[in-house]
């Protein structure tokens, strides 16, 4: 592949729902650790990439050395609106996720449902903490693609560590296995000891919270207690608070990767 043809190739990959564009070292690192299928890995400077891998992810030094190919700096700069400082970008295949099958399957850990999240960095931060807590998946409604390169950047590529998919219709939640719990500052205070691990935990949009439709179909409304005068937590922060309250209370912390 000629360097110049990479510019339209990355452009097409951004619009292709079967592909994921990884901008920077951390998304590539997690894609490799969680066995993504890489189609193209390009870097600005091979020696600099190997030095970074040696420092931050020695386990991946060899695969990165074999996969990454150096390209002209002026081409690299045109592969993303904001080329990453770490000087590496990649195209990977997205895993195929059946959102409905995920909803219907019995599970040992909650699924995070994000209703119409507006901020791609926030979506990524939710995926990242859900992966860290070993949640069963992240489903999002609304117009944003949870696999958008900016969400992958915010999630440090941890989309490859658990199922992440768009849910076309809120009504699909009716087919769920397990209770639907709406996280809402007006709900009953969270008791992590009684949280059903097979729950779907629904979080609302950044500005307006959960819709009436979702609240009406929920089995319960739960709040994260806050100091008086604070109206709400940030979306990803609230996902983190609930998942780790549950994890720590159950005494079943996720294991470290060997």
Contacts to ligand SAM by CB under 6 A: 183-185, 203-204, 206, 209-210, 223-224, 226, 232-235, 238
Nearer to ligand SAM, 24 or 209 (CB): 209
Min separation Cβ 205 and ligand SAM, Å: 7
Cβ partners under 8 Å of residue 246, min gap 6: 110, 133, 192, 195, 197
Q: What own/partner pairs with CB < 8 Å and gap ≥ 24 does 9-14 have?
A: 9/40, 9/91, 10/79, 10/80, 10/89, 10/91, 13/91, 14/149
Give the SS3 label for residue 200. strand
Min separation Cβ 128 and ligand SAM, Å: 16
39 neighbors 93 (Cβ within 8 angstroms):
yes
224 neighbors 135 (Cβ within 8 angstroms):
no
Give the SS3 label for residue 7. helix
Nearer to ligand SAM, 34 or 244 (CB): 244
Nearer to ligand SAM, 46 or 223 (CB): 223
Residue in this structure with the two tokens 């439709």, named with its chain if needed: 213
**Strand 164-166 relative to strand 137-140: parallel, antiparallel, unpaired?**
parallel
Half-sphere CA count of 258, side-chain side, radius 13 A: 0
Min separation Cβ 185 and ligand SAM, Å: 4
Nearer to ligand SAM, 31 or 151 (CB): 151
155 neighbors 125 (Cβ within 8 angstroms):
yes
Nearer to ligand SAM, 36 or 240 (CB): 240
> H or E stretch including 50?
helix 46-56
Min separation Cβ 99 and ligand SAM, Å: 20
Min separation Cβ 236 and ligand SAM, Å: 9
**Across the strands, what pairs with 223?**
189
Nearer to ligand SAM, 61 or 224 (CB): 224
Min separation Cβ 206 and ligand SAM, Å: 5
Nearer to ligand SAM, 62 or 191 (CB): 191
Min separation Cβ 196 and ligand SAM, Å: 17
């Amino acid at each position: 592949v000629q360097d110049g043809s990479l510019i339209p190739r990355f452009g097409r990959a951004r619009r292709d729902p079967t592909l994921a564009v990884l901008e920077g070292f951390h998304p590539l690192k997690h894609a490799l650790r969680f066995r993504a299928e890489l189609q193209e890995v390009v870097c600005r400077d091979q020696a600099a990439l190997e030095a970074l891998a040696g420092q931050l992810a020695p386990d991946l030094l060899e695969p990165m050395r074999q996969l990454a190919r150096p390209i002209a700096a002026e081409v690299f700069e045109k592969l993303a609106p904001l080329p990453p400082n770490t000087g590496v970008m990649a195209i990977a295949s997205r895993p195929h996720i059946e959102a409905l099958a995920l909803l219907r399957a019995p599970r040992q850990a909650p699924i995070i449902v994000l209703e119409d999240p507006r901020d791609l960095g926030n979506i990524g931060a939710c995926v990242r903490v859900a992966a860290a807590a070993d949640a069963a998946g992240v489903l999002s409604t609304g117009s944003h693609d949870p696999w958008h390169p900016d969400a992958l950047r915010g999630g440090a590529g941890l989309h490859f560590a658990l199922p992440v998919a768009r849910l076309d219709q809120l009504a699909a939640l009716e087919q769920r296995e397990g209770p639907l719990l709406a996280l809402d500052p007006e709900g009953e205070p969270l008791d992590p000891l009684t949280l059903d691990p097979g729950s779907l935990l629904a979080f609302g949009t950044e500005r307006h919270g959960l819709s009436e439709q979702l609240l009406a179909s929920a089995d319960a409304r739960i709040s994260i207690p806050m100091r008086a005068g604070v109206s709400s937590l940030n979306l990803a922060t609230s996902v983190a608070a609930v998942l780790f309250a549950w994890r720590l209370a159950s005494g079943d912390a996720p294991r470290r990767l060997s």
